[in-house]
């Protein structure tokens, strides 16, 4: 489950919590700016700010501040001696913002999730001081959620929409671009797709599963997917959005459907297109599309056989190999 969804559940149940965000790092600290952890009043934690002593201290301080309404910056300075004494693998310096989960900011958290899943650029502005916390979400369309930002400051914050890193400004202001979850279209609702959906959600893809059979494309089979679509494999492309940053995995039940889906995908820009199948099947499908006039350069970019080579055999292993390849492409 997404961290903001978890926070929403705690708010809905009237439970307290603390949100930790890495707002600044130097050196070889384990997590980048923007890494988050949520600690609930029930002492459960979700997400990570890097593990080791840093995470343990953040967790302890979160419990200490729970229910006080206080926000603070925790400073960790991990020199070589500290790293060696603690048995850590990474050094560097890290600043972590600890802030309370407040019901008054519920619409901000919901807005962040909305922007993440729809690929909408947005920025979160957080101001904090002793006993005071304000939070505002601004998106690329000029919409605003949460606390009001003075007109004189609005334009300056809007510029951060193009940023990718969190900024700690002074001692009491954090500006955080919303990370956009890339869309993963999974064509086919078989066993591999079930595990693929689950694993892809765990690493922050916005998963959309598509099949032309309702008995295969449904919430019971794909509880982790963001959306499940029942539609003809060709007709569905009239409903799908392609901006060039989408990932498409073709795992349908047969050659004809694979070829139909791949033919449509090749007409559009994608970040990744992959098709499952034996080398013989893949060769047949690609040759068929080549004879139909498909762009040779686009065909050459199709990942097939799909996934990283890890000697995978079971549906679970195949799903892991595919997601590993998606992560590799996403990070390139």
pLDDT at 31 over 70: no
Q: Please compute Rg for the chain using Cα positions.
A: 22
274: enclosing H helix or E strand = strand 272-275
What are 9-20's pLDDT values in tens digits? 999 999 999 999
> Half-sphere exposure (CA, 13 Å, Cβ side) for 93?
6
The reported pLDDT for the residue numbered 81 is 52
Please say if the pLDDT value at position 298 is more than 90.
no
pLDDT of residue 88: 47
Q: What is the mean pLDDT of the chain?
A: 89
Task: Report which listed range, 25-39, 152-166, 314-328, is most confident.
Answer: 314-328
- Residue 89: pLDDT above 50? no
- Give me the CATH code for the 183-330 domain, please: 3.40.50.720
The DSSP string of 238-273 is GT----S--EEEE--SSHHHHHHHHHHHTTS--SEE
The whole-number pLDDT of residue 32 equals 78
Q: Would the pLDDT of 174 be above 60? A: yes
**Rounded CA separation 28/253 (Å):** 46
Average pLDDT over residues 56-78: 93
Q: How confident is the model at residue 23 (pLDDT cuts 50, 70, 90)?
A: very high
Domain boundaries, the chain: 3-103, 105-177, 183-330
> pLDDT band for position 51 (50/70/90)?
confident
Q: What is the pLDDT of residue 28?
A: 64
Return d(Cα 157, Cα 273) in angstroms, integer: 36
Q: Is the pTM of this model over 0.75?
A: no
Interstrand relation of 206-211 and 227-230 (parallel, antiparallel or unpaired): parallel
Give the residue-averaged pLDDT of 58-84: 84
Q: Summarize the confidence of residues 230-247 as an average pLDDT.
A: 91
Q: For the chain, what is the total number of helices (H) and then of strands (E)?
A: 10, 15
Q: What is the pLDDT of residue 64?
A: 97
């Amino acid at each position: 489950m997404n961290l903001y969804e978890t926070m929403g559940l705690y708010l809905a149940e009237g439970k307290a919590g603390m949100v930790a965000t890495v707002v600044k790092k130097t050196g070889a600290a384990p997590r980048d700016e923007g890494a988050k952890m949520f600690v609930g009043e029930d002492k459960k934690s979700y997400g990570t700010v890097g593990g080791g002593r840093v995470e343990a201290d953040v967790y302890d301080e979160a419990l200490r501040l729970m229910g006080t309404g206080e926000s603070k910056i925790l400073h960790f300075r991990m020199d070589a001696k500290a790293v060696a004494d603690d048995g850590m693998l990474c050094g560097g310096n890290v600043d972590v913002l600890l802030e309370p989960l407040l019901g008054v900011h519920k619409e901000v958290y919901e807005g962040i999730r909305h922007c993440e899943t729809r690929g909408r650029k947005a920025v979160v502005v957080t101001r904090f001081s002793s006993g005071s916390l304000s939070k505002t979400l601004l998106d690329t369309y000029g919409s605003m959620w949460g606390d009001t930002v003075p007109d004189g400051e609005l334009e300056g914050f809007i510029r951060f929409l193009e940023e990718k890193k969190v900024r700690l400004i002074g001692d009491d202001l954090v500006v955080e671009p919303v990370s956009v979850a890339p869309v993963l279209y999974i064509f086919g609702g078989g066993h591999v797709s079930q595990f693929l959906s689950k694993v892809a959600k765990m690493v922050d893809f916005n998963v959309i599963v598509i099949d032309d059979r309702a008995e295969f494309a449904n919430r019971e089979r794909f509880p982790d997917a963001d959306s499940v679509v029942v539609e003809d494999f060709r007709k569905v492309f009239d409903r799908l959005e392609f901006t060039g940053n989408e990932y498409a995995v073709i795992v349908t039940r047969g050659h004809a459907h694979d070829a139909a889906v791949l033919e449509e995908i090749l007409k559009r820009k994608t970040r990744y297109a992959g098709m499952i199948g034996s080398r013989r099947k893949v060769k047949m499908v690609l040759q068929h599309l080549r004879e139909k006039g498909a762009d040779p350069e686009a065909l050459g970019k199709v990942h097939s056989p799909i996934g990283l080579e890890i000697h995978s055999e079971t549906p679970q292993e195949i799903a892991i190999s595919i997601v590993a390849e998606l992560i590799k492409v996403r990070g390139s």
